Amino acid sequence: AVVLPRYVDLTIKSKENAAKASLGGIRAAVSIRYGSNAAYGNASFSDSLYTSLFADSRVPVEPYSDSSSVQVVSSSPPATTGTGWRYASDTGQVWINNSNYSGY
């Protein structure tokens, strides 16, 4: 009876940690691309999260919705429940595309 609640809690924590790790990786890739662009005189963010930003040529999967889709927007965090990632191409900000997790 004690094992099931602990397992559920570990599953939730596992997804939370995976989401934060993926966000960190995406944000690092965006920053590196921005720095590279700046070095060539064009300090700008990519207009989307392209697979070329990542070493394995794949956008990381967002663990809550199990999606790697990207919604490109102006700089605003998600206000609803969506899937995948939300990327503000004007500021380089990245969120989980779900208002329940946009504080990460």
Residue spans of the domains in the chain: they are 3-98
Q: List residues bridging with 79 in a β-sheet.
A: none
Q: What is the pLDDT, as a whole number, of residue 78?
A: 82
Q: What is the pLDDT, as a whole number, of residue 75?
A: 74
Q: What is the pLDDT, as a whole number, of residue 86?
A: 94
Q: How many helices (H) and strands (E) does the chain have?
A: 1, 3
Q: How far apart are CA 31 and CA 1, in angstroms?
A: 46
Q: What is the pLDDT, as a whole number, of residue 28?
A: 96
Is residue 21 within 8 Å of residue 61, measured between CB atoms? no
Which residues does the chain have with pLDDT short of 50? none
